[in-house]
Amino acid sequence: MSRTTSISAALFLTPSDYDLYLQWQEAEGTSEEHLGYVSYAVEYHDFTIWRATGWPCLQEHSTARSKYVQGKQRVASRCLHTLHLASFIETEWCPVCEVNICLEFLEALVQAYEKVGRQMRESKLENEYEQLVRKHKAIRMGWRMARLELIEVVRYHEELATCEMEWDLHYDDLDTDDSHSSSFAVTLAVLETRHPADIVSQEELAMMHSDRTPKKKPQATKKVRFATQLETTRSPRHEDTFDRSNKQYQPGKWACPIAEGWQDTSFYMSDLHNLQQFKVFITSIEDPDDVDMSKGDEGPAGLHPFWPQIEFIWERSMKNANRAQYKQLIKKMDESEAVVAFVDNNGNVADMAFAGRPKDTEWKPEIPPPSDMAWTSLQMHL
């Protein structure tokens, strides 16, 4: 089964909320193809915040830096919850909020799923029934998508939880606030996930199992222990050595492999995710400045047959770039809205370039002007 990448918000929002959702998306500058759809839990979350408070979410996003407070513990930039001592990544939400955002979205889908299920059982008209079955299925697919997102978030925090244990072991005596740690977030995800089901009422259940009274399962007590091969004798690093901006920095065993030191598990700001949304132009002209882009694009890059090759080139360029080049690439990307893929004589993508709006001129979506375009990897690495 192929992976669903978005769900129509009309499937789980009331008609009036759906209208509001469209309004919010337009205010956030959502691309036309994505209007009315939800791909990530954070979109639903931001919408509900906006619906409740009227805050334009983009404002919140501009301060995506966590701050140091009270000596060593820092806070997440949006939810302001205290992060675990071991956390030295920049993050908008604490692990617990990240999980909660996924759970909220899943819960909204579960409720919609159950509502349609009830409607199906009450439906007397064949046409109506079939329509409801399709709707039911579509919501199930959306739930599956949201569930996969939660799994990715949890996987990430399971790794961080190991790192937290290392810290807890050595700073046993420190009085710290660990209520928003990755370990808590993982537990929360396990305890709170509800699966969509065709729920039967208590009475129906009693009729079906009149001979048995449900027994409460005894709660297993969980204890966390280190694997024996885990090295626990090494003393924890001094603050200077785990601060990535410091010259003394020494990456630990569990350090995030990305130079920036943080990973956006919500994918809200992920570069690769952004790149997939770019319009794609295909050319066989070697000089990027001579590319004629008036012929129209070939749709979003992520859906183009060349996407795997484009992705490969992007990742290779990012990997080979030094810090300055990396920043330059990201800047270029931020200013662009289209990607031009250069296809060689063998029909393979040999390089890519960004095209987009040059500063201070009106942007016309149909014809992206090549603003001092350059091939990404040819320019830098050949």
List interacting residues with Zn ion (CB under 5 A). 46, 57, 79, 81, 94, 97
Smallest distance from the beta carbon of 299 to Zn ion, in angstroms? 26
Residue among 94 and 333 whose Cβ is closer to Zn ion: 94
Q: 321 in the Ramachandran plot: left (φ > 0), alpha (ψ -120 to 50) or beta?
A: beta
Residue nearest to Zn ion (CB): 57
For residue 361, give the DSSP letter. Answer: S
No. of helices (H) and no. of strands (E), the chain: 12, 7
Q: Decide: 75 and 66 in contact? Cβ < 8 Å.
A: yes
Residue among 49 and 120 whose Cβ is closer to Zn ion: 49
Residue among 123 and 187 whose Cβ is closer to Zn ion: 187
Smallest distance from the beta carbon of 79 to Zn ion, in angstroms? 3
Give Dmax (Cα) for the chain. 80
Residue among 97 and 150 whose Cβ is closer to Zn ion: 97
What stretches of the chain show up as alpha helix (H) in DSSP?
15-27, 41-53, 57-61, 95-122, 126-170, 182-192, 202-208, 239-242, 271-277, 307-320, 323-334, 376-381
Q: Is 140 exposed, middle or buried (0-12, 13-18, 19+ CB in 10 A)?
A: middle
Smallest distance from the beta carbon of 14 to Zn ion, in angstroms? 21
Residue among 12 and 93 whose Cβ is closer to Zn ion: 93
User: What is the C-alpha to C-alpha distance for residues 282 and 343, in angstroms, rounded to an integer?
Assistant: 7
Smallest distance from the beta carbon of 222 to Zn ion, in angstroms? 23
Smallest distance from the beta carbon of 38 to Zn ion, in angstroms? 13
Name the nearest CA neighbour of 96 among 184, 158, 176, 178: 184
Smallest distance from the beta carbon of 50 to Zn ion, in angstroms? 7
Smallest distance from the beta carbon of 95 to Zn ion, in angstroms? 8
166, 174, 227, 250 from 240: Cα distances, Å = 17, 19, 28, 9
Residue among 101 and 321 whose Cβ is closer to Zn ion: 101
Residue among 81 and 170 whose Cβ is closer to Zn ion: 81
